[in-house]
Structure 1
């Protein structure tokens, strides 16, 4: 491992992200109440995303990996290398925006009874610092056209490939937390994801209610937040405001 978790996070923030950048995570009601109850974030295993380009290498990088295998520098051929890495990396996704997004409500809220948790890059980094023995980084996703063989920066190691997605997803404006468990002696976990405990009171900047949520749902969220000791303000989306 080239760096410990805390150092890796700080270096990532210095190079790509401002600590005051606002992040959004859109949730349906079931996931919200699971968050209230358990105070965990879910990290999806990289090979369980629907995007076929997730963790995809460009032709140049594929050739580089194949050449390293042929020379005996690594013990896996390209397909084995890609599969093992996708099985060993776990990702938690956020939307980078100052305000909420109608598209994100439709895609990830999935119903009128939905919310968005907001935080900042700095709060997220502080909550995650030192929480795992595995290498953890916070990266701003760059959107590329893989088929044009763009030059991708995969230093200090190949897990940086998860900082790139295909251009078709550019509207997501994604910031992701990447946990690398490739060093586990027992091999990659078989589960489709892992949960990481967090301090909700330190993580949350606000809780935003979906613009079309019924009044009873807003009241339920407010009551539940108070019951669980969540001090972050609860407000309705500005998209619900009637124009003047």
Structure 2
């Protein structure tokens, strides 16, 4: 279930276009089970995920002198927070195709912020929040810690190209043993507005994607990648 949080930064326009780039196996898993995978935050490649900038960490250390459990909480909290990452962009991103898909295969889901918010209401077991990632200098800038989600909504400036928004859940109260992540129920037809196939994929792959979508009972609009457009001279 989506829960709005006025303290979390988010674009105001529900028609803001967002994308998720993924390989075919993850796409089929999403359609087949109608569940969205959310990754455990400490399993991301970036080791800084869920941590603090240097100025904030220094302040937390001072607060922990008489309360050692304060710092320990933040160290262990990361394994209870799960995240699904999306990319804000009005258009396709060549960089995102390169980073998140391989071997000229893969897909991009186009959605909007409002669609995601509505789609998350299919899940009644966990609370989800959505926030836009802030990109800062971890050596100089401060990350607030008056909201437990804030450490997961800041990243280093070197990741600015991601233009990321995150679906994020804190599962601490559920006392779960989370491995790499977990799946949440989602309204697939609300979530997906269009599907784009990798611009360098071969015809057999395009046909495979189209057939899979049809056989699984969906009628999503499947677009030719804008990056595949014919050259006009």
Normalised to the residue count of structure 2, the TM-score between the two structures is: 0.90
Asked if 1 retains the 8 angstrom alpha-carbon contact of 2:56 and 2:144, the reply is: no
- Corresponding residue SS for 1:9: coil
Write the distance in 2 (CA, Å) between the matches of 1:20 and 1:12: 21
1:143 — aligned with what?
Answer: 135
Write the distance in 2 (CA, Å) between the matches of 1:91 and 1:190: 12
Of the three residues 61, 64, 68, the one matched with 1:69 is: 64
Of the three residues 93, 102, 106, the one matched with 1:101 is: 93
Write the distance in 1 (CA, Å) between the matches of 2:120 and 2:4: 9
2:207 — aligned with what?
Answer: 219
Asked if 1 retains the 8 angstrom alpha-carbon contact of 2:20 and 2:110, the reply is: yes
1:177 — aligned with what?
Answer: 167
1:152 — aligned with what?
Answer: 143
Asked if 2 retains the 8 angstrom alpha-carbon contact of 1:27 and 1:108, the reply is: yes
Which moved further from structure 2: 83-92 or 54-63? 54-63
Write the distance in 2 (CA, Å) between the matches of 1:151 and 1:161: 11
Write the distance in 2 (CA, Å) between the matches of 1:27 and 1:70: 44
Of the three residues 13, 16, 28, the one matched with 2:10 is: 16
Shift of 1:71: 3.9
List per-residue Cα deviations over 1:80-109 (Å, max 9, x = no partner).
Answer: 223211111100001111111111111101
Query: Unpaired runs of 5+ in structure 2?
Result: none
Shift of 1:142: 1.0
Asked if 2 retains the 8 angstrom alpha-carbon contact of 1:23 and 1:120, the reply is: yes
Asked if 1 retains the 8 angstrom alpha-carbon contact of 2:122 and 2:186, the reply is: no
Shift of 1:64: 3.4
Query: Unpaired runs of 5+ in structure 1?
Result: none
Which moved further from structure 2: 58-67 or 232-241? 58-67
Write the distance in 2 (CA, Å) between the matches of 1:132 and 1:70: 40
Write the distance in 1 (CA, Å) between the matches of 2:4 and 2:228: 36
Which moved further from structure 2: 225-234 or 208-217? 225-234
Write the distance in 2 (CA, Å) between the matches of 1:61 and 1:40: 36
Write the distance in 1 (CA, Å) between the matches of 2:173 and 2:165: 24
Equivalenced residues, count: 231
* Structure 1 segments (4+ residues) deviating >6 Å: none
Of the three residues 104, 115, 118, the one matched with 2:110 is: 118
Normalised to the residue count of structure 1, the TM-score between the two structures is: 0.87
2:37 — aligned with what?
Answer: 42
- Corresponding residue SS for 1:86: helix
Asked if 2 retains the 8 angstrom alpha-carbon contact of 1:23 and 1:95, the reply is: yes
List per-residue Cα deviations over 1:7-66 (Å, max 9, x = no partner).
Answer: x326368x5212111111111121122222112211111111110211121233223333
Asked if 2 retains the 8 angstrom alpha-carbon contact of 1:21 and 1:120, the reply is: yes
Write the distance in 1 (CA, Å) between the matches of 2:178 and 2:130: 24
Asked if 1 retains the 8 angstrom alpha-carbon contact of 2:109 and 2:195, the reply is: yes
